[in-house]
Chains A and B, each alone.
Chain A
Amino acid sequence: MDTLLLPPTDILPVSWGWFQFLLLLTFPLHLLAMNAMLGGLAIGVAQHLLGGGVRYRLAHRLAMVTPLLIATTVNLGVAPFLFLQVLYGHFIYTSSILMAVGWIMVIPLLMLAYWWAYVYDFQFELLGRLGLLLAGGCVLIFLGIAATLTHNMLLMGLPQLFQEYFRHQGGTLMIVDDNSYLFRYLHMVLGALSVGGLAVALIGRFHADRDLELADHAERVGLRVFLIVTLINTAIGTLYLLALPRGQMLLFMGRDLGATIAFGVGLLLTLGVLVTAWRLRLWLTIAHAVALVYVMVFMRSWLRSSYLQQVFTLDQLQVVPQYSPLLFFFGIFVFGMLCLTWLWRQTARTLTGS
């Protein structure tokens, strides 16, 4: 192997375990929000395209929710990205620079999609079917951003490719010969579409008393999308597993006990969501799906550790303890949760008229 080009690490204020905990806690929340955003909007576009009374109303409701979900997705992406940088900054900064053109393009594209989503929401009636262009454009941009993020997350785990910098100093590196990339991307995007189905079912329930037909339709469509796409995604996930380098694949097949158990639990939860979705048990399906997303994030973490094991392990990170900022953060976090709870209660009180 050529000489590996790896920047040095910076010093942590507390043990790496805290950051790993916070990363694994917050990243699934980002994924769930992203799934609801991307999957929900894709289903909304399909409903709008198919047309008809209740489909049109569902598409409109999804259009109204999309800007909120974009904001939530971005917000919930900030925390895990922060903790990822603390743990793996020397990899993620490097890989980002190597593909800088695509990476920075995420920002203007996201801004554009966000803007279009608001126009689609505020001008839904006025735009009519023209709105489909905006919403469809948003979906395409989100798919593009997902491809970019997936690419970067894969590239940061392949430091042997960092040598390619000298041929791509303008930030144009693309992975072209990794078998797992396509399946990894499809697995993520199809997962978003399926969980988006659950979000649609949930969103349809809002004010169900005022539009029971919409609530029933949304639940039926959402669960059906979830069931079908999850079935497909199970096959894609299997292909993804088989496309991994042998060392990483075997990780989940007995080489590492924790990873294998997580994989087993993931399979059971997959079975669980399929059964509950088949039986139209929305809340039970959501509960299983949330647990499944958490398990998958754990597996993903194992996979990353395995990719980097030869060159870096988290226990190599140096610590010069400073615990008071951690306590400060926890204090602010509790305060923030209290504020959000208060906002939620005031909103609920206003909407329900109680």
Chain B
Amino acid sequence: MHYPVWYLPEIGGGSLIALIAVFHVFVSHFAVGGGLYLVLAERKGLREHSQAILDFTHRHAKFFLLVSMVLGSISGVGIWFIISLVNPAATSYLIHSFVFGWAAEWVFFTVEIAAAFVYFYLFGKMDWSTHLKVGYLYFFAAWMSLFLINGIIGVMLTPGTWAETGDFWQGFFNPSFWPSLFFRTFMAILLAGCYGCLSAAWSRDEVVRVKMTRFSGLWSLVAFIGAVPAAAWYVLVLPAGPRQLVLGKSPTIVLALEYGAVAVLLLLTITLVATIIRPQFNNRLVALVAMACAFVLLGSFEWIREAARRPYVINEVIYSNSIFKKDADKLTASGFLESAIWVTHKRLSPDNRVAAGRELFIHQCYSCHTLGGGNNDLAAQTADMSYSALVAYLGKMHTLRPFMPPFIGTPDEARALASYLIGKVHGKEVQEPVERAGDGLAAGRRLFEENCAACHSQEDVAGAFDDQTKEKAETILLTLNEISSEMASFGGTDFERGLLADFLRLPVASPGAQKVVDGAAVFDMHCASCHGAEDLVENTVSWDRALIYENLSRLQELVPEMPPFIGSQEERGALAKYLDDLKGGK
């Protein structure tokens, strides 16, 4: 809210960060582990008096230099650029809090570059003993870069007491500092092994290819063995919220874990079979598949780490949408727009609701959601929601989905946001719900929209309720958390639970009921005397089936000349389905 938002609704800033960050991590961890790999490969060549291995090491050093310098160092600057474009408030906060940590990292980056150049350009020209020392110096500087960055970015996930004190050292040595450092070090070793296999696969000397493949495979195996306890330790030190997300509460993390698990299994299989047991199997294709697995593994790790912070970008300090946690209550009371700098509509009026809603979307939703794009598309996610459903959902979004920030603003601002999404984006009707006393069906429908429609359509849940008695349906609503840990039990009053149970038991979504009662016959009996079917298609074109069903119960309110519908609930449901089908269910 303090900074402008670079708004690319169909791409999303998060996608750009993920793209650059995963790429950089894949290269930068290699830049750490690969340094040690080079030194030990060189030592192996010297110990075995093998010029072929030394030549391989020299070639690998060239590859290493190109990858780490061209791709690694520039993409590192790229991350800096992109996070300051997408999340400037958090970037600024981290830069100011840890400026001397970053500055110290820059010193090691400088030593790293100098040592890498000396190592490569003087390979075979410098005496071996000094050359190995240069290699060790490179690795030390690269690992120290990792050490420093690990401390600074670790605070984003596990700030510990730093969140309150702002103390540099408390933040740097945050609760996940050591497990993260160990895990990343093993990842660096793993990547050194994978890149080593890749270089070996390109070797024309069969003996070297086999020998260096096995040598590289052992690196990967050691990394796997070390990474498992480090990962477990990492999870154990997480605070309860992030740990629950990592262990299954977050759908995006579950997906990333699945990808990561497949990558680990495949990479472990390749490591054991094609590099250690039968290194002859290693070829360019196998090595590239292993690299792809390593990329997915690193990518899923970074994705999980980032997703586990949610709803924060800096845990307990700044929400994902750049709003400081300490400001949330005040903004909720006084209004977001009034305090936001980069908005044009400071005050809401009937004329600017949609435009203000768009600004609220940009500042509160866009950091994680695209609009019509591939990543977390909010247009798709709200497609089945009505205006009132979205308004209600915004009010309890953080409770239902703890990995999402609360909507921060007044109820009017929430309605403005819903107006934009439902009215402008989806072109649906935006109307405040008006309930008539005694209209239990409308109330039930509203309760459904407020409590269920964010995740379920009426058809989705029909199967669970259509054959139930009212009492049984009410019991189900009380035990939703037992069906899925991602659901909460219905939290309304007993009366509201009864209304919702009535609504859910409606035959409108019950295929069984529709078979029993013929909607066309009901139409003929109740409507055809005054209406042609085409007329009713026109009249009901903007209604969905549930609304048709609902309106059939209050025909006289809609058109005073009409008699009330006289028929059973089943007949009303069948008629609603028939009319809905006539217009193609749209």
Residues of A at under 8 Å CB distance from B?
A: 5-8, 10-13, 19, 22, 67-68, 71-72, 74-75, 77-79, 81-83, 85-86, 89-90, 93-94, 96-98, 100, 103-104, 106-107, 110-111, 114-115, 118, 162, 165-166, 169-171, 320, 322, 324-326, 328-329, 332-333, 335-336, 339-340, 342-343, 346-347, 350
Q: Mark B87-130, 1 if CB is under 8 A from A, else 0.
A: 01101110111111111101111110111011000100111001
Specify the chain B residue showing the minimal Cβ separation from A111.
B74
On whether the beta carbons of B106 and A346 are closer than 8 Å, the reply is no
Nearest 9 pairs of A and B residues by beta carbon? A325-B100, A336-B107, A10-B96, A107-B78, A93-B88, A329-B100, A169-B7, A7-B2, A332-B104
Q: Considering the chains assembled together, what is the distance between the CA atoms of A96 and B126 in angstroms? A: 45
Q: Which residue of B lies closest to A26 (CB)?
A: B106
Q: In the complex, which residues of chain B have a beta carbon less than 8 angstroms from the beta carbon of A114?
A: 69-70, 74
Q: Is B341's CB under 8 angstroms from A13's CB?
A: no
Are B168 and A90 in touch, CB under 8 angstroms?
no
Contact indicator A89/B95 (Cβ below 8 Å): yes
5 additional contacts (CB under 8 A) given A104-B78, A169-B362 = A22-B103, A85-B95, A86-B99, A96-B85, A340-B110
Contact across chains for A13 and B100 when beta carbons are under 8 A apart? yes
Given known pairs A82-B102, A104-B16, the reply for A98 and B109 (CB within 8 Å) is: no
B85 touches A97 (CB 8 A): yes
A165–B342 touching, CB < 8 Å: yes
The closest CB in chain B to the CB of A19 belongs to B99
Known: A85-B95, A93-B91. A325 touches B101 (CB 8 A): yes
Q: Are A71 and B7 in contact (CB under 8 A)?
A: no
> A8-B2, A346-B126 given as contacts; is B103 within 8 A of A115 (CB)?
no
Q: Which residues of B contact A8 (CB under 8 A)?
A: 2
Is A343 touching B96 in the complex (CB atoms < 8 A)?
A: no
**Given A166-B344, A339-B141, A346-B118, A78-B106 contact (CB < 8 Å):** yes
Could you list some 30 contacts between A and B, CB below 8 A? A5-B342, A7-B3, A7-B92, A10-B92, A10-B97, A11-B96, A13-B96, A13-B99, A13-B100, A83-B99, A89-B88, A94-B4, A94-B88, A96-B81, A96-B84, A100-B85, A107-B20, A110-B77, A111-B75, A114-B69, A322-B168, A325-B98, A325-B169, A336-B110, A336-B111, A339-B111, A339-B137, A343-B134, A346-B133, A350-B125
B564 at the interface (CB under 8 A from A): no
Kindly provide the distance from the CB of A10 to the nearest chain B CB, expressed in whole angstroms. Answer: 4
Contact indicator B114/A343 (Cβ below 8 Å) = yes
Asked if residues B107 and A97 are in contact (CB atoms below 8 Å), the reply is no
B166 within 8 A of A: yes
Known: A96-B85, A343-B134. A325 touches B168 (CB 8 A): yes
Specify which chain B residues have a CB less than 8 angstroms from the CB of A329 in the assembled complex: 100, 103-104, 107
Find out whether the CB atom of A75 lies under 8 angstroms from the CB atom of B113: yes
Shortest distance from the beta carbon of A45 to any chain B beta carbon, whole Å: 20
Task: Give the Cβ gap from A230 to chain B, nearest Cβ, in Å.
Answer: 30
Using A90-B92, A336-B108 as known contacts, say yes or no to A111 and B71 having CB atoms under 8 A apart. yes
CB distance from A101 to the nearest CB of B (A): 9
Cβ–Cβ < 8 Å partners of B6 in chain A: 97, 100, 169-171
> Of A85, A333, A340, A350, which one neighbours B122 at CB under 8 angstroms?
A350
A75, B109: Cβ atoms closer than 8 Å = yes
B3 touches A104 (CB 8 A): no
A215 to B105, CA, bound (A): 37
**CB-nearest residue of chain B to A166:** B344
Knowing A170-B6, A346-B130 are in contact, say whether A89-B70 is a contact too (CB < 8 A). no
| Chain B residues whose CB sits within 8 angstroms of the CB of A104 once the complex forms | 16, 78, 81-82, 85
CA of A68 to CA of B122, assembled, Å? 14
B540 at the interface (CB under 8 A from A): no
Q: Contacts A110-B74, A347-B122 hold; do A71 and B69 have CB atoms under 8 A apart?
A: yes
- A10→B97 CA distance, assembly (Å): 9
Q: Which residue, of B69, B71, B99, has the highest number of chain A Cβ atoms within 10 A? A: B99
A322 near B167: Cβ-Cβ < 8 Å: yes
Q: Which one of B69, B109, B167 contacts A67 once the chains associate, using CB atoms below 8 Å?
A: B69
A273 to B80, CA, bound (A): 37
Judge whether B70 and A111 touch: CB under 8 Å: yes
What separation, in Å, do the CA atoms of A68 and B71 have in the docked complex?
15
A89 contacts across to B, CB distance below 8 A: 88, 92, 95-96
Please give, as numbers and ranges, the residues of chain A lying within 8 Å of B101 by CB-CB distance: 325
B: contact size bracket: 35 or more
A301 to B344, CA, bound (A): 33
Give the CA-CA distance A180 to B171 in the complex, in Å: 44
Give the CA-CA distance A347 to B97 in the complex, in Å.
38
Residue of A nearest to B2 (CB): A7
Query: Is the pair B126, A350 in contact by a Cβ cutoff of 8 Å?
Result: yes
B386 to A: closest C-beta gap in Å: 29
Q: Which residue of A lies closest to B99 (CB)?
A: A86
Q: Does B5 contact A (CB under 8 A)?
A: yes
Q: Are A165 and B74 in contact (CB under 8 A)?
A: no
B514 within 8 A of A: no
In angstroms, how far is the closest chain A Cβ from the Cβ of B44?
22
* Pairwise interchain contact B341-A6, C-beta atoms closer than 8 A: yes
Max chain B C-beta neighbours (<10 A), residue from A13, A93, A94: A93
Inter-chain CA distance A78–B102, complex, in Å, is 10
Q: Contact check: which of A11, A85, A97, A342 meets B4 at CB < 8 Å?
A: A97
B3 and A170 form a contact (CB under 8 A): no
Give the residue name and chain of the B residue nearest to A347 (CB).
Answer: B118
Please tell me if B255 contacts chain A, counting CB pairs below 8 Å: no
CB distance from A35 to the nearest CB of B (A): 19
Interface residue? B8 (CB, 8 A):
yes
Alpha-carbon distance between A107 and B71 when the two chains are bound, in angstroms? 10
User: Which residues of chain B have C-beta atoms less than 8 A from A342's C-beta?
Assistant: 137
Name the residue of chain A whose CB is nearest to the CB of B168: A325
Instruction: Give chain B nearest CB distance to A203 CB in angstroms.
Output: 15
Q: Which of B214-268 contact A (CB under 8 A)?
A: none
Q: In the complex, A111→B79 CA distance in Å? A: 13
Q: What chain A residues lie within 8 Å of B88 (beta carbons)?
A: 7, 89, 93-94, 97
Whether B81 lies near A106 (C-beta < 8 A) is yes
A12, B96: Cβ atoms closer than 8 Å: yes
CB contact between B73 and one of A6, A71, A343 (< 8 Å): that residue: A71
Q: Please, which residues of chain B bring their CB within 8 A of the CB of A7?
A: 2-3, 88-89, 92, 341
Does B95 contact A13, Cβ atoms closer than 8 Å?
no
Whether A107 contacts B4 by the Cβ 8 Å rule is: no
Docked Cα-Cα span, A320 to B99, in Å, equals: 13
Query: A97-B5, A97-B88 are known contacts. Are A320 and B166 too (CB-CB below 8 A)?
Result: yes
Please, which residue of chain A has its CB at the minimum distance from the CB of B341?
Answer: A5
Q: Find residues 132-172 in chain B having any chain A CB closer than 8 Å to their own CB.
A: 133-134, 137, 141, 166-169
Q: When each residue 311-350 of chain B gets 1 if its CB lies under 8 Å from chain A and 0 otherwise, what string results? A: 0000000000000000000000000000001101000000
Provide the B158-190 mask, 1 if CB < 8 A to any CB of A, else 0: 000000001111000000000000000000000
Hey, which chain A residues are within 8 Å of B207, CB to CB? none
Q: A98-B4, A343-B134 are in contact. Are A324 and B169 (CB under 8 A)?
A: yes
Q: Which B-chain residue is minimally distant from A326 (CB atoms)?
A: B100
What B residues does A78 contact at CB under 8 A? 77, 106, 109
- In the complex, what residues of A have CB within 8 A of residue B75's CB? 107, 111
Q: Decide: A82 and B114 in contact? CB cutoff 8 A.
A: no
Q: Does B464 contact A (CB under 8 A)?
A: no
Distance in Å: Cβ of A351 to nearest Cβ of chain B: 8
B111: chain A residues within 8 A (beta carbon): 336, 339-340, 343
Give every chain B residue within 8 A of A350 (Cβ-Cβ).
Answer: 122, 125-127, 130
User: Which residues on the A side are within 8 Å of B115 (C-beta)?
Assistant: 339, 343
Q: How far is the CA of A11 from the CA of B166 in the complex (A)?
A: 10
- Residues in A with CB closer than 8 Å to B536 are none
Set of chain A residues within 8 Å of B380, measured between Cβ atoms: none
The answer for the CA separation of A141 and B75 in the assembled complex, in Å, is: 17
